[in-house]
A and B are shown apart, each in its own frame.
Chain A
């Protein structure tokens, strides 16, 4: 995709810097290239964002308007009936609460255990640490579907099917490798001297963990929590496999109830329900988005 865009601009972009040998920084970018890249960026952003805006607009349409009207047009009349129907049909409040419990539980495990494993591997160190590390890292590439059948068998033999832990355990387990990877690459950047100084002062591994490593890792914790929350909040496959009862259904399962509940799907109410369920995560994301982007970027440039 990049290839066609760049050569087009080349003929006009090159002569300037080569002829006048002055620092390019001082002048404005060549206008053709600048305009072109802005147009491309704007187009891609529209493709990324418009469907979401459309989702919201549709949730405010009347059913007739949706069924007959031009999909790009603004709604003829704004109605909140869809939201009322959305709350009547499903149990959105409970779905959100369940998603919240599962996300919190899994995140707690992912952060705490991920940090502990990274501490043992990166800071404490031991003879087989290389082997253990690669054992963990294998988990990044294992497809989750492979564990579904065995987990289902195991859960049913210990009566764990249809519980919160049945979702939390595999969600946390499969997210653990990435968390360990992120924490390890962060711990690498804590200077050795810090630990040595603390050791000389008589601090053991537990105190060093609690007083040095833990407080320094706050940013990484935020990144790990946010990235994982996105996946866990929206997890479909584990919830769909292990949860049967209505009271434990998380958001993705709750949303499925809207499809064809009465033979015909009430699309505007469905979209209203989607909007309601997106909101909590979206708010958190928009508030903490800067911290997350920074965390992702710093993790990446080290990798």
Chain B
């Protein structure tokens, strides 16, 4: 604590950020929670209904559960691609001598591209008419049987909309994990090597335990971003075909802003999913 500070100076520094945060984040969350106990179509008077919205959402709304499980699947694919890919590349990078900077830059490149552009790009990658990159590649390596319109096949669509999100941010997490790996003490690794530890042992016994705190932070980050995922599924398939790629976020958005008839439900998915998401 600074010796010469006054209560006023603390307020001067603290109030403006708190104000913005309150207006943009805290207050809307409270409002969402508040609205979820009412039945309201946006025009007429609000009517207090208690937990009815929640009950209806949890018991009578199939789409909610469908999109809930889809969101989990989406999250799982994103995490595997982002964290798995990040850990793999970061570990391999530490053993490289040259070109590290170049690879870090190239790897981070997709993060700069807007989701709308990425959605366009992947629509073409998955397309079958004219034949897109993925189907062409499968054809070449002799897996022609797997060729399909990835985005209109209900079995592949969830994977197809999750992969771009995973692809996009792998580089970001790779950088963070790479930095953590570099901070593993050299002496420790050296000593283990002299004792005859294999690379795999070195990784599981020394490196990974050492980066554990960073790994946890990264996992939390990737999980929250994964649960926030919206743009790419919304733009590529809008939840379709049917509800096979509907996520909680896209469902929430569509209920609130497109389907007029069910406007009363809107606040309820918002707040309940928020309570489900905050640990």
Contacts and interface: CB of A to CB of B under 8 A. Distances in A.
**A and B form one complex:** yes
Interface in B244-279: 249, 252-253, 256-257, 266-267, 270-271, 273-274, 277-279
Main secondary structure of the interface of A (DSSP, over half): helix
A153 B43 CA distance: 11
A209 B13 contact: yes
A147 B25 contact: yes
Given A300-B176, A301-B183, A150 B16 contact: no
B135 to A, nearest CB: 9
Given A146-B28, A147-B24, A176-B21, A10 B180 contact: no
Contacts of A104: none
B13 A119 contact: yes
Nearest to A141: B224
A150 B252 CA distance: 13
B80 A1 contact: yes
Main secondary structure of the interface of B (DSSP, over half): helix
A143 to B, nearest CB: 5
A41 B96 contact: yes
Contacts of B92: 37, 40-41
Place the interface of chain A in its size category: 35 or more
A10 B4 contact: no
Interface residues of B, number: 112
Contacts of B32: 146-147, 149-150
Contacts of A209: 13
Interface in A210-255: 230, 233-234, 236-237, 241, 251-252, 255
A48 B105 contact: no
Interface string A127-143: 00000100110111111
B112 A139 contact: no
A71 interface: yes
A-B CB proximity, top 10 nearest: A173-B24, A297-B179, A18-B196, A234-B114, A150-B31, A147-B28, A117-B17, A150-B28, A125-B1, A1-B84
